[in-house]
DNA sequence: GCGACTGTTACGCCGCGTCATTGTGC
DNA sequence: AGCACAATGACGCGGCGTAACAGTCG
């Protein structure tokens, strides 16, 4: 019943490259056992890696993920640990909200710029050949 | 009437560090004239830098910005150049939209995880001392 | 003895931050 | 002579990608 994986199998299953798994090991996030030189990943290792990848997807840094995993591994002060994790999540939510606002701002800016440029193109179609002293593209953007 | 700036003045006015301006120069994005060794930025240089910073804010890479600026500098094929810029903007809008979706997904994941963890904490408050075999924090997340 | 996999080592990328060191001008 | 600015050069970070080369297994 012992499911194990080679680095190739597991990285493929997780949708990452072997390099990524070796990198995580180098950073102390995972510690597969060895058979000779080759890494052997257990089901537990896989679960842990899935948590790591989940953490990455939702925007935590590898250092933060390692901190949380290490803490939960020690199992000390479970309740305190939960509160700590909650505060981590809270701050991450703030960061994500900020990023979202920034992106909305950027979308607005790009969209407005496109509108201006499209306007310039339409003018060109109408009055063709006229030598309107063309404004440089991005100047339209501010 | 010739407004010029030292690197300290201009970087301060633009809200960046001198290092940033030197870096952009190193990357061929800007070419201030020199007085001896010191860089002297003109009003034109400033405008160009404002365009660069605008581009950064809306998510273009420095390489893309350089490409667009170089093109518009040549001034050749103005209409074609406008169309090219439009396609740049279009692709950037797509990237931004994707990023926004990813962030929304992440926000959802973190928020749900927080809800679960908060639930665990509430249970602990009620049934305190009971040795519920605590699930590791992040396992709640998937 | 070939190919598919594994391993290690180490440099590259991007957008700068951050020293360390050496001018230069007032 | 001191102080604030400027200059260059080089390494650091984060999260891997991408060789380059060697070993191992079927």
Residue B135 DSSP code: P
Determine the residue of chain B that is closest to A91 in CA distance.
B110
- Closest alpha carbon within chain B to A138: B51
B36-52 confidence digits (pLDDT tens): 899 999 999 999 999 99
Q: Which residue has the higher pLDDT, B133 or B48?
A: B48
Pairwise CB contact (< 8 Å): A110 & B99: no
Enumerate residues 39 to 98 of chain B having a beta carbon within 8 A of any beta carbon in chain A.
47, 50-51, 54-55, 57-59, 68-69, 71-73, 75, 78-79, 81-83, 85-86, 89-90, 92-93, 96-97
Return the structure tokens found at A13. 């299953």
Contact predicate B21/B49, CB 8 Å = yes
Q: What gap in Å lies between CA B24 and CA B62, rounded to an integer?
A: 8
Task: Write out the DSSP string of chain A.
Answer: ---EE-HHHHHHHHTS-HHHHHHHHHTTS---EEETTEEEEEHHHHHHHHHHHHHHHTT--HHHHHHHHHHHHHT-SHHHHHHHHHHHHHHHHHHHHHHHHHHHHHHHHHHHHHHHHHHHHHHHHHS-S----PPPGGGGG-
Q: What's the length of chain B? A: 142
Nearest-10 crossing angle of helices A43-57, A7-14? 40
- Kindly identify which residue of chain B lies nearest to residue A73, measuring between CA atoms: B136
pLDDT number for residue B126: 74
Show Cβ contacts of residue A70 under 8 Å, excluding neighbours closer than 6 positions: none
Report whether pLDDT(B11) > 90.
yes
Q: What is the mean pLDDT of chain B?
A: 86
Burial grade of A23 (CB within 10 A; 0-12, 13-18, 19 or more): middle
- d(CA A98, nearest CA chain B) in Å: 10
pLDDT of residue B32: 96
Q: Report pLDDT digits (tens) over B66-124.
A: 988 888 776 666 788 888 888 889 999 999 999 999 999 999 999 998 998 899 888 88
For residue A134, what pLDDT is reported? 42
At residue A10, the pLDDT reads 97
DSSP 8-state class, residue B45: H
Contacts of A117 in chain B (CB under 8 A): 82, 85-86, 89
pTM of the full predicted structure? 0.82
Top residue of A110, A127, A135 to mutate, by most chain B CBs within 10 Å, is: A110
pLDDT of residue A128: 60
Is pLDDT above 70 for B142? no
A60-78: burial string, b at 16+ Cβ within 10 Å, e else: beeeebbebbebbeeeeeb
pLDDT, averaged in runs of 10, over chain A (142 residues): 90 96 96 94 96 93 92 74 88 92 91 89 72 47 42
Total Cβ atoms within 10 A of residue A32: 24
How confident is the model over A45-76, as pLDDT tens digits?
999 999 999 999 998 999 999 998 888 776 66
Which residues of chain B does A85 touch, with a Cβ-Cβ cutoff of 8 Å? Answer: 117, 137-138
pLDDT band at B140, cuts 50/70/90?
very low
């Amino acid at each position: 019943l012992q499911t194990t994986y080679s680095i190739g199998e597991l990285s493929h299953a997780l949708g990452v490259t072997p390099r990524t798994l070796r990198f995580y090991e180098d950073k102390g996030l995972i510690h597969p056992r060895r058979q000779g030189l080759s890494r052997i990943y257990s089901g537990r290792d896989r679960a842990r890696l899935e948590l790591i990848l989940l953490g990455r997807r939702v925007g935590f840094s590898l250092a933060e993920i390692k901190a949380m995993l290490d803490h939960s591994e020690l199992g000390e002060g479970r309740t305190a640990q939960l509160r700590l994790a909650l505060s981590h999540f809270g701050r991450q939510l703030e960061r994500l909200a900020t990023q979202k606002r920034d992106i909305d701002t950027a979308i607005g800016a790009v969209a407005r710029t496109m509108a201006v440029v499209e306007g310039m193109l339409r003018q060109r179609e109408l009055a063709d050949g006229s030598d309107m002293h063309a404004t440089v593209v991005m100047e339209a953007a501010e």
